[in-house]
Chains A and B, each alone.
Chain A
Amino acid sequence: MPKQIYLDYAATTPIDEEVLEAMMPYLKKDFGNPSSLHHFGQITRVAIDQTRKKAARFLNCSESEIVFCGSATEANSLAIFGVVKALQKKIKKPFHIITTKIEHHAVLHPFEELEKQGVEVSFVAPNKIGIVETKEIKKAIKDNTVFISVMYANNEIGTVQPIEEIGKLISQINKNRKQKIYFHTDAVQAVNYLDCDVQKLKVDLLTLSAHKIYGPKGVGALFIKKGTPIEPIIYGGGHEFGLRSGTENVAGIVGLGKAIELVEKHKGDTERIKNLRDKIIEEVLKIPNAKLNGSRENRLPNNVNVSISGVEGESLVIALDQEGIAVSTGSACSSHELKPSHVLLAIGLSPKSTHGSLRITLGRFTTEDEIDYFLKVLPKVVKRLREISPF
């Protein structure tokens, strides 16, 4: 049996045993509809509210400010379309919104859709090391700017954005404005490792996802600060304060609650993961013509992203998969649209360099032995593919 080494934690995480255990009753005996008045329903209602409590504590907000959704993608859509829709009703004049060029598609595409619908949008570029600088956001803000979305940590290159600084800037600007600017952050990749205190970050909306923090897939949550104008994008029975109709995914939400609890418990593990990451960076950069993508300092402790010239990413991923190692790439060949990663292009990589990009992301269950094995296999695989390649 060949080794099975998972180094793709940014794509999704395995479910933690404790999370699964917490979910099980709600997949079996406690099946009631949380909207039902009888005790079957009340058991699940209580379970959902307990998760709400945990999420509120984690984010340092109140329980009524948390809405559970069917994914982080949905939470992002609710934040973006929901706030813009509410503001359109309120303001009735054309306004301007801002996001960045390195957002996940779950933010980028809603903004592109709004642009198509006639809303004025600015897409702020990152610097060469993948950081969207606060002064660039400042420059982009106009008199009629009303909404800004900047991700907390990038999913491809792991760069950490100055959310607290941008939050401060926006609240400063808001002091002198009649029409406030609302600030959203997609914190999906940040939750495991960074401070998500919404008071400190000064955000009005924040998105998180269960399956990136050792919880189940198909559950997301959106923090919406009290007083933020927002309209639903899904209509129905009025669940989740009327903002997300549809019978709640009880087991999934309970899983999210447990997963959040465990994030706090495992905070001490960050240093260990960071050390493993640094070992990978150091060793991988010894391969001739390999280059680190994104800031060395301001990056998630679990993310390595390198471009290796002369090898194409999809080939590299499958070659490593044949050796039992699971990683990911931003190569055009690997994407559905056969386009190179927009994030790598945005930080100034040539299409060729995006082609040879490799993302290695670590997590709670990564061991030093696994990293050593990966570092032994990678140079061999690169050498083999370079022998086939004309470059």
Chain B
Amino acid sequence: MNKKQFTLYSKKVLEHFQNPRNYGKMKNPDGVGKVGNIVCGDVMYLYVKIGKKKNGKEYIKDIKFQTYGCLAAIASSSILTEMVKEKTIEEAIKINRSQIVKRLGGLPPIKMHCSILATDALFEAIYDYLSKNKKPIPKFLKERHKQIEKEKKEIEKRYKEWIKLEEKLSKNEKEK
């Protein structure tokens, strides 16, 4: 009997989880994207270094990620770094989650949101680079940035609710 066939995840996901590409912190990155998962509360950091191609176009010279999350989140970030490395910024921001999911050989339905974490972290890292260097920011990136900021607040709210619950509990404790 083949054990692999009974896991929730595809071979490719497991492979990226076992041997993630481009992970770790980057020294002196040109842009950093930090995002949290609205659904489960996990976190991903993405770092980019930007270079210039001979034709003058800016491209992703180096990329690294750090992920605290489930397998799908780790595999998504790993494969994303592979997919956009060496790509021009213009090309990189065209990436979407269905490309990631496809490259990963599929994700369980409940884990689809984890792949958004990866694309969002990339968009935020590029946004960070462009805004820090006072460069024009494509409309799509601006809108996505706004959306991500909004979601961040929601995550904080959710954490606050959990924390409130805990505080209530520990207050009960003290009253005893």
Contact = CB atoms under 8 A, between A and B. Distances in A.
Given A332-B40, A338-B39, A348 B166 contact: yes
17 contacts: A311-B68, A312-B42, A315-B17, A315-B69, A332-B41, A334-B70, A345-B162, A345-B165, A346-B169, A348-B169, A355-B41, A355-B68, A387-B24, A388-B20, A388-B24, A390-B45, A390-B68
B43 interface: yes
Interface in A140-177: none
Given A345-B162, A390-B68, 18 more contacts: A311-B68, A312-B68, A314-B71, A315-B17, A315-B70, A315-B74, A318-B9, A318-B17, A340-B41, A345-B165, A348-B166, A351-B162, A355-B41, A355-B42, A387-B24, A388-B74, A389-B68, A390-B45
Closest 10 pairs between A and B when the two form their complex, measured CB to CB: A390-B66, A333-B70, A332-B40, A314-B70, A338-B40, A389-B68, A390-B45, A351-B162, A388-B23, A333-B40
Nearest to A356: B68
B69 A333 contact: yes
Contacts of B162: 340, 345, 350-351
A338 B44 CA distance: 17
Interface of B: 7, 9, 14, 17-18, 20, 23-25, 39-45, 66-71, 73-74, 110, 159, 162-163, 165-166, 169-170, 172-173, 176
Contacts of A336: 110
A388 B69 CA distance: 10
B68 A318 contact: no
Interface string A108-150: 0000000000000000010110000001000000000000000
Contacts of B45: 390
B9 to A, nearest CB: 7
B31 to A, nearest CB: 16
Interface string A317-347: 0110110000000011110101010000110
B7 to A, nearest CB: 7
B151 to A, nearest CB: 15
B170 to A, nearest CB: 6
Q: Which of A125, A318, A348, A350 has the most CB of B within 10 A?
A: A318
B168 to A, nearest CB: 9
A318 B7 contact: yes
A391 B40 contact: no
Given A318-B7, A336-B110, A390 B166 contact: no
A127 B173 contact: yes
B14 A322 contact: yes
A333 to B, nearest CB: 4
Contact of A390 (B7, B67, B163): B67
Contacts of B169: 125, 346, 348
